[in-house]
Amino acid sequence: MKKLIISIFGAAVLFTSGATSTEASSINSVVNNMTGIPYKWGGTTVAGFDCSGFMRYLFNKYSIELPRTSQQQAKAGTPVSKSNIRTGDLVFFNTTGKGISHTGVYIGGGQFAHASSSKGVSITKMTNPYFNDRYVTARRVTGQFMYDKMLGKM
């Protein structure tokens, strides 16, 4: 009986440790597979993305429709304070000096994914001086179900 309990306990530990290691793998896997896709102004496909086109494409994979432009996307969902950003939240920047002009998605670990005009689809730290100085706001467009799906919990 002790061996059976130990075996069950061991299996439970292995199962949960596996779940922990894949917790953020879903959205990160999608983003990692898209890293390097070139920037294309107005682009909405894997042939090339602009920042908001990339967000629309990515969120569509989770059955979430977003407006077309970063300015419009910044009005979707609900506002989130910078200290409460979680994986799947949209982050917005003023890169032109004329209001919101760039968007990305927070992927955890202090990083966001976006379509950069110089690097294409890439991952950047939120503390990157260029983006840190130009940060405007974040929006949450996912409910708990889609949040769990983005984390690979489903």
Residues known to be catalytic: 51, 102, 114
Cα 62 from Cα 153, distance rounded (Å): 13
Cα 84 from Cα 130, distance rounded (Å): 21
3-state SS record for 112-139: EEEEECCCEEEEEECCCHHHHHHEEEEE
- Residue type at 138 in one-letter notation: A
Contact yes or no for 88/102 (Cβ under 8 A): no
Distances (CA, A) of 132 to 76, 100, 127, 152: 22, 14, 5, 28
Cα 116 from Cα 103, distance rounded (Å): 10
